[in-house]
């Protein structure tokens, strides 16, 4: 039987490479994006390699857009085997500098949209008694780094949601898989989205500058997004996928250190790693 995959945020980075990897692996893939004018790159590859990919519009922040996309897929294919919740972005700025509205905007895409997608897709997968839901979290879903509290807390929330959901869906043959990449070389860091107050206030200027320049340097040496895509393919092919998969040496290093050290030791280790203190 033909297997159907749906990926959010396929216009670039991890979403683009995951859509291509799924299609190359034989999945009929709906590569979705909110801005269809950004589909040229994927279209070119699809035509060149004759891949089973259909590009459709989906803005995860908008309920109508989510419902329309799922209806369109169900009309055409009547099933969804893999959902990759990938769309996301990062907001920089200290807790004091990020307004509550800005926190909400960050959570809208990185957290609430995942719930929106799952509430539409889980009933379809339950009827099939089969499915894989892949949530693209981050090493930032398990470690609090400075100057990115909105992003960090949205990914921590996503981890909690995913752990909880795993128990609920396993009896229906649905796996929930968390992917935890370290720094990946994508459009994620360009441009850096800074909270409005962080652009003008001075209190956290020094630490913000230190962290942002450290992150930019790490981004240049980031892992190829294809590695994330390959990990997703490997995970969904397991008979019993693990709860989480880590991608990138940096992510493994940080998470191993967190496991081995006390909270205070780990805090001191992070300060040294991030800005040499
Ligand atoms: N890069 C990293 O170092 C890294 C590390 C860990 C985790 N991640 C996670 O990986 C995921 C993908 O990020 P990436 O690194 O591949 O960055 P990216 O190249 O910037 O891709 C992000 C994708 O999400 C899309 N998106 C954002 N808001 C959306 C919305 N409301 N509706 C639909 N699509 C939306 C973007 O679309 P537009 O082109 O329209 O903006 C883009 O396609 C994110 O969840 C991110 O948190 C990234």
d(CA 130, CA 126): 7
* pLDDT higher than 90, residue 216: no
**Structure confidence at residue 199 (pLDDT):** 86
Ligand 1 is surrounded, with C-beta below 6 A, by 8-9, 11-15, 33-35, 38, 59-61, 86-89, 109, 136, 138, 181, 183-184, 186-188, 222, 225
Please give the distance, rounded to the nearest whole angstrom, from the Cα atom of residue 20 to the centre of ligand 1.
16
Q: Which atom of ligand 1 is nearest to the CA of 183?
A: 3
Residue with more model confidence, 208 or 69: 69
Q: Which atom of ligand 1 is nearest to the CA of 59?
A: 32
- Residue 238: pLDDT band (50, 70, 90) is very high
d(CA 95, CA 106): 13
d(CA 194, CA 39): 26
d(CA 77, CA 56): 14
For 18-58, how does the pLDDT look when each residue is reduced to its tens digit (9 = 90+)?
A: 999 999 999 999 999 999 999 999 999 999 999 999 999 99
Average pLDDT over residues 167-179: 98
Place of tokens 């969904």: 236
Residue positions annotated with a catalytic role: 151
Q: List all residues 6 or more positions away from 4 whose beta carbon is below 8 Å from its beta carbon.
A: 27, 28, 29, 30, 73, 77, 79, 80, 81, 82
Please give the distance, rounded to the nearest whole angstrom, from the Cα atom of residue 261 to the centre of ligand 1.
31
Please give the distance, rounded to the nearest whole angstrom, from the Cα atom of residue 265 to the centre of ligand 1.
32
Please give the distance, rounded to the nearest whole angstrom, from the Cα atom of residue 211 to the centre of ligand 1.
20
Do 127 and 79 form a contact (C-beta atoms < 8 A)?
Answer: no
Pocket perturbation via mutation, ligand 1, pick of 9, 38, 58, 225 by most ligand atoms within 8 A of CB = 9
Do 59 and 65 form a contact (C-beta atoms < 8 A)?
Answer: yes
- Total-model pTM: 0.98
Q: Which atom of ligand 1 is nearest to the CA of 140?
A: 6
Smallest CA separation from ligand 1 atom 34, residue: 9
Smallest CA separation from ligand 1 atom 24, residue: 87
**Structure confidence at residue 133 (pLDDT):** 99
- Residue 190: pLDDT band (50, 70, 90) is confident
Please give the distance, rounded to the nearest whole angstrom, from the Cα atom of residue 263 to the centre of ligand 1.
30
* pLDDT higher than 90, residue 218: no
Query: For the residues of 180-197, what is the DSSP string, one character each?
Result: EE-SBSSGGGSS-EE-HH
Q: Which atom of ligand 1 is nearest to the CA of 14?
A: 16
For 71-95, how does the pLDDT look when each residue is reduced to its tens digit (9 = 90+)?
A: 999 999 999 999 999 999 999 999 9
d(CA 34, CA 37): 9
Please give the distance, rounded to the nearest whole angstrom, from the Cα atom of residue 108 to the centre of ligand 1.
13
- Residue 276: pLDDT band (50, 70, 90) is confident
**Structure confidence at residue 275 (pLDDT):** 76
93-107, 121-135, 152-166, 203-217 — which is least confidently predicted? 203-217
d(CA 98, CA 40): 34
Average pLDDT over residues 133-155: 97
Smallest CA separation from ligand 1 atom 17, residue: 188
- Give exposure, 12-33, as e/b (b: 16+ Cβ within 10 Å): bbbbbbbbbbbbbeebbbbbbb
Q: Which atom of ligand 1 is nearest to the CA of 139?
A: 6
Smallest CA separation from ligand 1 atom 1, residue: 184
What number of CA atoms fall less than 13 Å from residue 162's CA on the CB side? 30
**Structure confidence at residue 135 (pLDDT):** 99
């Amino acid at each position: 039987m033909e297997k159907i995959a749906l990926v959010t945020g396929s216009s670039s980075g991890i979403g683009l490479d995951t859509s291509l990897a799924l299609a190359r692996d034989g999945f009929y893939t709906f590569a979705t994006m909110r801005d269809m004018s950004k589909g040229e790159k994927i279209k070119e590859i699809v035509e060149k390699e004759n891949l089973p990919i259909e590009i459709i519009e989906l803005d995860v922040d908008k309920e109508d857009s989510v419902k329309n996309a799922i209806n369109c897929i169900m009309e055409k294919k009547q099933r969804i085997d893999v959902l990759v919740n990938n769309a996301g972005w990062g907001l920089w700025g200290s807790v004091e500098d990020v307004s509550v509205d800005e926190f909400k905007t960050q959570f809208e895409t990185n957290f609430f949209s995942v719930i929106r997608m799952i509430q539409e897709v889980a009933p379809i997968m339950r009827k099939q008694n089969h499915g894989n839901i892949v949530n693209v979290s981050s090493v930032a879903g398990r470690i609090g780094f400075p100057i990115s509290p909105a992003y960090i807390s949205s990914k921590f929330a996503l981890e909690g949601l995913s752990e909880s959901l795993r128990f609920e869906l396993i009896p229906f043959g649905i796996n929930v898989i968390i992917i935890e990449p370290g720094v990946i070389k994508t459009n994620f860091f360009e441009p850096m989205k800074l909270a409005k107050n962080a652009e003008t206030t001075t209190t956290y200027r020094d630490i913000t500058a230190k962290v942002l320049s450290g992150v930019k340097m790490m981004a240049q040496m980031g892992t190829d997004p294809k590695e994330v895509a390959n990990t997703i393919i490997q995970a969904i092919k397991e008979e019993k996928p693990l709860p989480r998969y880590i991608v990138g040496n940096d992510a493994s290093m940080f998470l191993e250190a967190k496991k081995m050290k006390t909270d205070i030791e780990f805090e001191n280790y992070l300060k040294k790693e991030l800005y040499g203190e």
